[in-house]
Structure 1
Amino acid sequence: MRVLIVVDMLNDFVDERGALFCGPAARRIIPFVAQKIAEFRQQGQPIIYLRDSHSPDDREFEAFPPHCVRGSWGGEIIPELAPAPGDIIIEKTRFSGFFRTPLEKELERLKAQELHFVGVCTNICVMDTVGDARNRDYPVVVYRDGVADFDQEAHEFALKRMERIYRARVI
């Protein structure tokens, strides 16, 4: 079973008014991500949305401005990619979607055989989650047209690292 993992396509990262807007590159991937979501739905393959979700005093705010505070507009999935009934939403408080979340148990429950990734930011939450997926021996596909970053150089580095070090298929 293939599983699509949509990483942090949230207002604070993807909307121009967001606290940590990832720039025009984040806006440009929306149609591709929507297409992948539609494709997986049509094929009856599961979709998991990872959603950054912080408490107002989260220690991550020592490194980044406050963003994706639980219950805020910024922490909501952008309307263009709204989840459908049956989609899974997993809140996370750190870069990796596996850190202190039920993601691993959900993947086991779904009998996931291959994980496909889209979302932001390529060099932070996407790369860290992909690394943790590979450390759990999941085959991984990262869609080059479905990931974006506020830093193009870091984006390219992350794609190379995921392909060369983590052995993800970047297509």
Structure 2
Amino acid sequence: MSKVLVVVDMQKDFVDGALRNEEAIEIVPYVKEKIRKAKEDGTKVIFTLDTHDEGYMGTEEGKNLPVPHCIRGSEGWKILDELEPEKYGDEFFEKETFGSTALARYFTENKEETDEVEFIGVCTDICVISNVLLTKAVLPNKVITVDAAGCAGVTPKAHRTALDAMKACHIRVINEGQAAEA
């Protein structure tokens, strides 16, 4: 396997849906090209999907973020069409909260075959950082990278804070100063 690209929650609700984010809209062409190049280079591509059910508003997250989003099967739950997940995705992990225990389990089970993991997606300060740190916990001696140009936070300040926090945890952060361009 060697290298893996994890695309975190590039779903319609996080980009132009219920939780619309201008920074997320801006990174879409960059993310699309990053995925295409990864597959061209033989990199495995994993997509995570934030996944809630109709009872979302009664959950702890729903009480703190009272905006129904990524309801399983809804249009907003789907990965952006332009990312061509059916063409490029090797694995898909649904997650009911910020971090995916299934993704962490996957890396635990494939520790020997994994040399490097790179992350892109949204939101840098919530789901990206959660999945990066879970992965670092199960792959402490592997290179874990975050491509800042392929990530967007809830706000630019939150994005920056999350990048700094990940660097403090020995995560390699690349393309910090670049605008998200394809």
TM-score by length of 1: 0.90
Offset from partner CA, 1:40-97 (integer Å, 9 cap, x none)? 1111211000000111113121111111001111100011112116621110001012
Aligned residue number for residue 162 of structure 1: 166
The number of equivalent residue pairs is 164
What does residue range 44-83 of structure 1 map to in structure 2 within 5 Å? 44-58=42-56, 59=59, 60-64=61-65, 65-83=67-85
CA distance in 2, matches of 1:85, 1:118: 15
Aligned residue number for residue 91 of structure 2: 88
Instruction: Flag structure 2 segments of 5+ consecutive residues without an equivalent.
Output: 175-182
- From 120, 127, 130, give the equivalent of 2:129: 127
Aligned residue number for residue 104 of structure 2: 104
The answer (yes or no) to whether the contact 2:4–2:116 under 8 Å persists in 1 is yes
Instruction: Report the alpha carbon displacement of residue 152 of structure 1 after superposing the two structures with TM.
Output: 1.2
Amino acid at match of 2:104: E
- From 128, 147, 150, give the equivalent of 1:146: 150
Aligned residue number for residue 5 of structure 1: 6
Aligned residue number for residue 20 of structure 1: 19
Amino acid at match of 1:156: R
CA distance in 1, matches of 2:106, 2:152: 25
TM-score by length of 2: 0.85
The answer (yes or no) to whether the contact 2:39–2:88 under 8 Å persists in 1 is no
CA distance in 1, matches of 2:88, 2:131: 24
Instruction: Flag structure 1 segments of 5+ consecutive residues without an equivalent.
Output: none
Residues 1:32 and 2:30 aligned together: yes
Residue 29 of structure 1 aligns to a residue in which SS? helix
Distance change (3 Å), C-alpha of 1:86 and 1:126: closer
Aligned identity (percent) is 38
Amino acid at match of 1:3: V
